[in-house]
Structure 1
């Protein structure tokens, strides 16, 4: 039973990572009335998040792996950025739920040594 719960938590982490990219893109496409700015932000924000995660946070041998407090800061900025993007685009409840899911996921990863 615990093995299944750990698997569900790992899957939740993956979906939260995808959620950050969605949130950044959604925010970008709602940021302005100007089409060019919306396109730039809507495509650029997720690209920036992808680049940061690929370098520092990827699960399989990132070029600059972070551990300890540095990893905590990365995750708080990454997932907090996703939640903030949802709130900034007007999806306050969704952003709040997203942040809460991340906190639950992070606590369970610590307790179950999934970090």
Structure 2
């Protein structure tokens, strides 16, 4: 990434260097075993248009009221629109503050598609 872009991204997402992340490969490995709870925090309209298979939709605005719906025994992986989206960071901070384990998927729907993976629709 260009130095200027990295600086701007760090200003826009100030906690990003401190938050745990997960790669696409690690996510793919954990999903079939049920070790991962994939949380899409985008608005419901975006989720309905296409989302990662197995993802559960809880928009960021609803997450504080619905945090108790999340499992306590799985790694909760948050994702949104990709590296330029803060929703997954904000959701992950709420999840970690609730005592749950979590990580952020830096990639979003576009990067998922570019990697050759299919989307689910609802």
What TM-score comes out, normalization by structure 1 length?
A: 0.30
Which is higher, the Rg of structure 1 or of structure 2? 1
Query: Which structure's residues are more often helix, by fraction?
Result: 1
TM-score, normalising length from structure 2? 0.29
